[in-house]
Amino acid sequence: MDSQISQPSQPSRPGPVSPAASAPHTFQVDLRGLVDLLSHHLYSSPKVYLRELLQNAVDAITARRADQPDAPATVRLHTGDGELRVTDSGIGLTEPEVHQLLATIGRSSKREDGLQAARADFLGQFGIGLLACFVVAGRIRVVSRSARTPDAAPVEWTATDDGSYTVRTLPAEAHPEPGTTVHLVARAGAADWLTGERVLSLARDFGTLLPYDVRVDGEAVTELPAPWDRPHSSPAARRVALARHCHDLFGFTPLDSIVLDVPLAGVRGVAYVLPTAVSPAQRASHRVHLKGMLLTERAEQLLPDWAFFVRCVLDTDSLRPTASRESLYEDDTLAGVREALGERIRSWLTGLAAQDPERLAAFLSVHHLGVKSLARHDSEMLRTMLPWLPFETTDGRLSLEEFAQRHPVVHFTRTVEEYRQVAPIASAQGIGVVNGGYTYDSDLVEALPSVRPGTAVAELDSDTVTAHLDAVDPAEELALSGFLTAARAALDPLDCDVALRAFHPLSVPALHLDDRTARHEQARAEAEEQADDLWAGILGSLRGSAPRARLVLNHLNPLVRRIATLGEAELIGTAVESLYGQALLRAQRPLRPADSALLNRAFLGLLEWATHTDTPEGGAR
């Protein structure tokens, strides 16, 4: 018999029809257009055709074993001459079921015959079925024999990509055992997808964890039990075996492996710790199998955002796939699994801290940023990691615990620039400072008292640093008032004050100090100068009374002392501008255009002064 994929259907209940009403019509489906939609929009690659074939075969075996627990469970794939043949020992189909299930778009056999309650045992959910095979095949032939109705003759269903199909019954010897055989004939340009090498590669990619015996041209595909469930002689041997699996799967040798087990959610797998640091903003991609079948290699929402330092591979029977079966559906179950897997990774970290400090130190040397991200929101994790997390401090690279033991007050800066300004001077004055300018560091320092009661934490600003510097004797400062007046006049256009203090180390002639408020006001003033009248008025209204930046001259430094003895105001100004530029460079601050111009002007001014002559004979002054 010759039929069309789209068959007209009768209305379920006749009703009154107005004289103007026409008879109901069914939608007509353009199969080629639908296949184009599947291949270009629903599926990421034509390779999913093999997943659909394996899925149908596995589901058919599962259905048969629900009635016959001892039934054979085999899937055999054979390739050659641009064709593929897939045979399973599953439940099979009768002729009515062929019409009903293979030729009706959107219908799934899992909805029939009371199997709805057993849906958890099946892979498929959406009834797209063999349509995906038209992505690579121009003709599909299915020969099936029902295990439920042993007396029924085998039935053959043949369909082409123009939307037509034929159904006929065959003699019993055409398919003597229950099950189904699917024949694919490649469409033009798609023969490569049906070669033995390609089919074997895809089958192993999709079906390594399938629960039944799958073979391609005689070569085994399934490898059970899963790598994380295999027995090993020792924890070290297990670690080596999992590292080998990670290298084969992801291409890297992990720092460590974390077994993931969430029994209530039906999740088993392993997380591999990356051997190199990655950006927290980089979305990690994980491999997820659904009841043994690979669902996706790019699951991004599987773990909490802070766990960006691992790559996972796992198998689940509870998470819902999207319609394409290439990603996970975001629902309460996935949220619960994500939280449970995060807890498992957190437990691994605390276990390392208690039992294997060397491995923990190796991990933190690479991934301290991820742990800091976790500790920022988890006080228990912060308490556990406190002796281990490294921070940049004026005492070297230390943990907060060790630093707090050395200093009664834990001072910190919020930016790297502020730390670079004050670190050398603060260290010489005995002030302990933590660089809080890196990601999460200032948050963790501020959280320190919550997990270490009695610890004093204070943000270090320019006023605090200046207060720790020794004042100059008033008489000496008064004697240098002319020098200070000339210095202040030179830096006033740069919104910078000048102060005189005595501090160590002696080798530092000047210290540039400011804070975020002063920098904000400086940026506002620059923008006001460059803006048109309208914006200049708006920016002018935002003018604040914030303290200006400050150049602190070191009265103990020999160079500063010599400059202070110069009698020429212009030369003093040039020298102080040079000290200002050197202080900016020491703090590794980005230079504004005005700062760059000042450095250039001061350099040329000093060269001119150094080479200036007073006598016709050219003698140096």
Write the DSSP assignment of 475-499 as a string of letters.
HHHHHTHHHHHHHHHHHGGGTEEEE
Could you tell me which of 57, 17, 236 has the C-alpha nearest to residue 142? Answer: 57
Q: Strand 409-413 relative to strand 456-459: parallel, antiparallel, unpaired?
A: parallel
**Phi, psi (degrees; rounded to nearest 5) at 345:** -70, -35
The share of the chain scoring above pLDDT 90, in percent, equals: 34
Angle between helix 569-586 and helix 481-491 axes, rounded to 10 deg? 60
Instruction: Kindly report, residue by residue over 186-229, the tens digit of the pLDDT.
Output: 988 899 999 999 999 999 999 999 999 999 999 999 998 999 99
More confident residue, 275 or 427: 275
79-103 pLDDT, tens per residue? 998 899 999 999 999 888 888 777 5
d(CA 26, CA 93): 26
539 pLDDT more than 90: no
Best-predicted range by mean pLDDT among 64-78, 355-369, 495-509, 567-581?
Answer: 64-78
131 HSE (CA, 13 A, CB side): 27
What phi and psi values does residue 574 have, to the nearest 5 degrees? -65, -45
Position 54 scores a pLDDT of 93
Alpha helices in 298-415 (DSSP H): 332-355, 357-377, 379-385, 400-406
pTM over 0.85: no
Coil, strand or helix at 554: strand
Among candidate residues 184, 365, 182, the one with its CA nearest the CA of residue 277: 365
Q: How many CA atoms within 13 Å lie on the side-chain side of 178?
A: 21
Q: Which residue has the higher pLDDT, 168 or 421?
A: 168
3-class secondary-structure state, position 587: coil
One-letter amino acid of 539: L
> Would you give the end-to-end CA distance of the chain in angstroms?
115
